């Protein structure tokens, strides 16, 4: 059956799985292929990705993988509820493990006798913790309460410790009397189609209706301020005072430690300045920050994020999402990045799974342990809580010990040597190695450098033999990260199930916006779809957000957002000009376009002009086969770096 390693279910040799409605036994796992056998002797060989993609796939007897929690909701609960959940966290850890902190922070911490797992059962430790928390002022805490909180934490992580009563959606009308609500609705119905008056006049009409229905002084009208809020909650956006009214029949708009042998067993994350001068969105020059995640066992660069300055928690969340979710080749990437040119039997693999056409050869790893420095981005509560929910242990590196992250530090040096020096604007490793015309050579923006780096990781780094990677059977031949990844998976005998697309969306940054008649407005961009029709102008019901809706967005691709509708699922909402802009763009590029387009005319025309300017800019960037326009003071044109120039052995 499928065990659980690192918090995620695994498929290993001997397990029974369901594929295409039939039960098979896993007899072997070799690289990216899995061998299945039935009781009648029928055999089948297929790719692991094709097996996981089957709608009816499951590991017989295995626990279903836990879904990523809705972390955007944690911010919606009151601060007191957040603090109480964070206060429960070390107590739950102490009952489970004997230590109130993470393993990486356990230096000097002694296991208390009453919580020693070697001496007491879980039930006994639950009872001891209940007595302690009652004495600390948590209220009357019983053993069953501690047990219930432990199970909730296992299922949902930090979100399971939140008092769900504080997260209940509030009613649009609050505690208003139902008879008053009915009178307000009747008053608005009578006013529909007529000349629009004021809220004060509507209040008088509602009072008359209450008197006619229930008698004089039987039901009191609320105060004017409360009545105004009630009207705003009940009225259609087109019927609110000060706006044109709709008719009654009008329809709404429709250093590698010893023993690391499994991919993902330890992943190291760090941030540094890239040795390339980039053109920033304001036209100035600067060295962007590079944050990477490196798998220690295979030396694979699982994810890399460039930002102009100051890595934020947004970039850390994207890094976590990108390393654990399949990374398809971008439509604009050259053919050199496709699996068809890799050292694999491509035709045979393509006959087994046609989705491999145009795919990128890049590992997908769900980490077991992440080693980070003590920067506030990587030790923040949200990042650590998300890692714990995915079964990932966060291990802070000791202070002033760069050798604790030797693999990622050495990888930074390799990137500067194998990639940066081939890019225009290379600054060298120090000022003594810096050229005189670095400022004149700089011509690439941060998004363009991100594209070059992603291409080089797939076609360069992942295919380059690494002296630190050796096959025990053939120790003289160094392996590439991709080859080591396939070999170690075969040796482990199991493949961790990757995160789903929904999990990736849950890890994206969250914003809160209203849904108007025109859709969702974000930074002069309008996102709209017919699925928003039932909730246009309505309140989300989430307390503390003034009726705004939870919107997830990707800062590196503004062509769509995802909104959580009343059914609880994240639904994709496209930008109204997405069909006009076919390539991803980030916030920096959008701000650059906005700075160059004057806002004149109405809003729709201005947004269309911005979309056209963005498309023209991206076309010029893509179609510059070798030469870019000269900058002020530049004496010679700068040529785009040849892809082959940064490939190993080129």
What does the buried/exposed string (b/e) look like for 65-96 if buried means 16 or more CB atoms within 10 Å of the residue's CB?
A: bbebbbbbebebbeeebbebbeebbebbbbbe
- Average pLDDT in the 473-498 region? 75
The Cα–Cα gap between 312 and 320 comes to 13
Assigned token pair, 103? 């393993």
pLDDT tops 80 at residue 337: no
The Cα–Cα gap between 176 and 158 comes to 34
Q: What is the pLDDT of residue 377?
A: 67
pLDDT tops 70 at residue 644: no
pLDDT tops 90 at residue 143: yes
Q: What is the pLDDT of residue 648?
A: 34
245-296 pLDDT, tens per residue?
444 433 333 344 556 878 888 999 988 888 888 887 666 788 888 989 999 9
Q: Is 54 buried (19+), middle (13-18) or exposed (0-12) by CB count in 10 A?
A: middle
Q: Is 147 or 169 the better-scoring residue by pLDDT?
A: 147
Q: What percent of the chain has pLDDT over 90?
A: 11
DSSP 338: B
Three-state secondary structure along 605-646? HHHHHHHHHHHHHHHHHHHCCCECCCCCCCCCCCECCCHHHH
CB-based contact 276:449 (threshold 8 Å): yes
pLDDT tops 60 at residue 243: no
Handedness of CA 91, 92, 97, 103 (dihedral sign): negative
pLDDT tops 60 at residue 173: yes
Instruction: Provide the 3-class DSSP secondary structure of residue 211.
Output: helix
Q: Is 401 buried (19+), middle (13-18) or exposed (0-12) by CB count in 10 A?
A: exposed
- Average pLDDT in the 34-43 region? 90
| Average pLDDT of the residues of the chain | 77
Q: What is the pLDDT of residue 527?
A: 94
Q: What is the pLDDT of residue 170?
A: 62
345-371 pLDDT, tens per residue?
455 444 544 444 555 566 777 788 888
Q: What is the pLDDT of residue 567?
A: 87
- Average pLDDT in the 500-504 region? 73
pLDDT tops 90 at residue 627: no
459-485 pLDDT, tens per residue?
888 888 888 888 766 778 888 888 887
Half-sphere exposure of 78 (CA within 13 A, CB side): 8
182-212 pLDDT, tens per residue?
888 888 887 776 556 678 778 888 888 998 8
Q: What is the largest CA-CA distance in the chain?
A: 97
DSSP 574: E
Nearest residue to 68 (alpha-carbon basis) of 189, 172, 156: 156
Which has the minimum average pLDDT: 75-84, 265-274, 313-322, 394-403?
313-322
pLDDT tops 70 at residue 493: no
């Amino acid at each position: 059956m499928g065990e659980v390693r690192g918090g995620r279910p695994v498929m290993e040799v001997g397990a029974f799985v369901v594929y295409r409605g039939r039960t098979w036994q896993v007899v072997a796992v070799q690289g990216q292929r899995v061998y299945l056998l039935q009781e009648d002797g029928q055999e089948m060989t297929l790719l692991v990705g094709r097996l996981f993609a089957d709608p009816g796939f499951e590991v017989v007897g295995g626990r279903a993988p836990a879904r990523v929690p809705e972390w955007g909701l944690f911010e919606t609960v009151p601060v007191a509820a957040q603090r109480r959940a964070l206060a429960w966290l070390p107590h739950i850890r102490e009952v489970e493990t004997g230590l109130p902190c993470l393993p990486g922070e356990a230096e000097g911490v002694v296991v208390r006798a009453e919580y020693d797992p070697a001496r007491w059962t879980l039930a006994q430790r639950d009872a001891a913790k209940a007595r302690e928390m009652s004495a600390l002022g948590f209220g009357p805490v019983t053993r069953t309460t501690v047990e219930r909180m432990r199970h909730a934490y296992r299922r949902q992580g930090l979100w399971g410790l939140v008092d769900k009563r504080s997260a209940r959606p509030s009613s649009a009308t609050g505690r208003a009397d139902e008879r008053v609500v009915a009178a307000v609705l009747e008053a608005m119905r009578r006013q529909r189609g007529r000349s629009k008056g004021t809220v004060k006049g509507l209040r008088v009409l509602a009072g008359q209706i209450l008197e006619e229905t229930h008698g004089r002084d039987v039901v009191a009208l609320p105060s004017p301020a409360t009545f105004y809020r009630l009207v705003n909650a009940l009225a259609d956006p087109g019927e609110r005072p000060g706006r044109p009214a709709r008719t009654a029949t009008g329809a709404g708009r429709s250093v590698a430690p010893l023993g690391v042998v499994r991919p993902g067993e330890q992943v190291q994350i760090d941030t540094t300045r890239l040795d390339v001068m980039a053109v920033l969105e304001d036209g100035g020059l600067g060295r962007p920050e590079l944050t990477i995640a490196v798998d220690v066992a295979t030396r694979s660069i699982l994810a890399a994020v460039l930002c102009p300055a100051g890595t934020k928690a947004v970039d850390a969340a994207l890094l976590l999402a990108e390393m654990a979710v399949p990374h398809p080749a971008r439509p604009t990437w050259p053919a050199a990045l496709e699996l068809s040119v890799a050292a694999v039997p491509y035709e045979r693999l393509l006959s087994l799974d046609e989705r491999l056409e145009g795919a990128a050869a890049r590992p997908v790893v769900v980490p077991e342990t992440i080693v980070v420095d003590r920067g506030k981005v990587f030790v923040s509560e949200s990042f650590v809580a998300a890692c714990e929910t995915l079964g990932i242990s966060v291990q802070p590196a000791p202070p002033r010990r760069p050798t604790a992250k030797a693999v990622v530090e050495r990888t930074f040096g390799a990137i500067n040597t194998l990639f940066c020096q081939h890019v225009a604007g290379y600054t060298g490793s120090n000022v003594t190695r810096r050229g005189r015309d670095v400022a004149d050579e700089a011509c690439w923006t941060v998004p363009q450098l991100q594209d070059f780096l992603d291409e080089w990781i797939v076609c360069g780094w992942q295919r380059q033999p690494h002296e630190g990677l050796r096959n025990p059977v053939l120790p003289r031949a160094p392996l590439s990260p991709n080859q080591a990844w396939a070999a170690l998976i075969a040796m482990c005998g199991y493949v961790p199930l990757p995160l789903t697309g929904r999990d990736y969306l849950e890890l994206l940054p969250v914003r809160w916006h209203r849904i108007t008649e025109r859709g969702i407005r974000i930074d002069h961009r309008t996102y709209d779809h017919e699925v928003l029709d039932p909730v246009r102008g309505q309140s989300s019901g989430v307390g503390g957000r003034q009726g705004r809706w939870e919107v997830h967005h990707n800062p590196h691709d503004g062509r769509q957002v995802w909104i959580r509708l009343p059914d609880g699922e994240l639904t994709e909402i496209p930008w109204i000009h997405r069909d006009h802009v076919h390539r991803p763009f980030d916030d920096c590029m959008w701000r650059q376009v906005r700075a160059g387009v004057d806002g004149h005319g109405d809003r729709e025309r201005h947004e269309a002009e911005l979309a056209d300017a963005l498309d023209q800019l991206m076309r010029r960037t893509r179609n510059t086969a070798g030469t870019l326009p000269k900058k002020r003071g530049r004496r010679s044109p700068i040529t785009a770096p040849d892809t082959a120039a940064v490939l190993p052995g080129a």
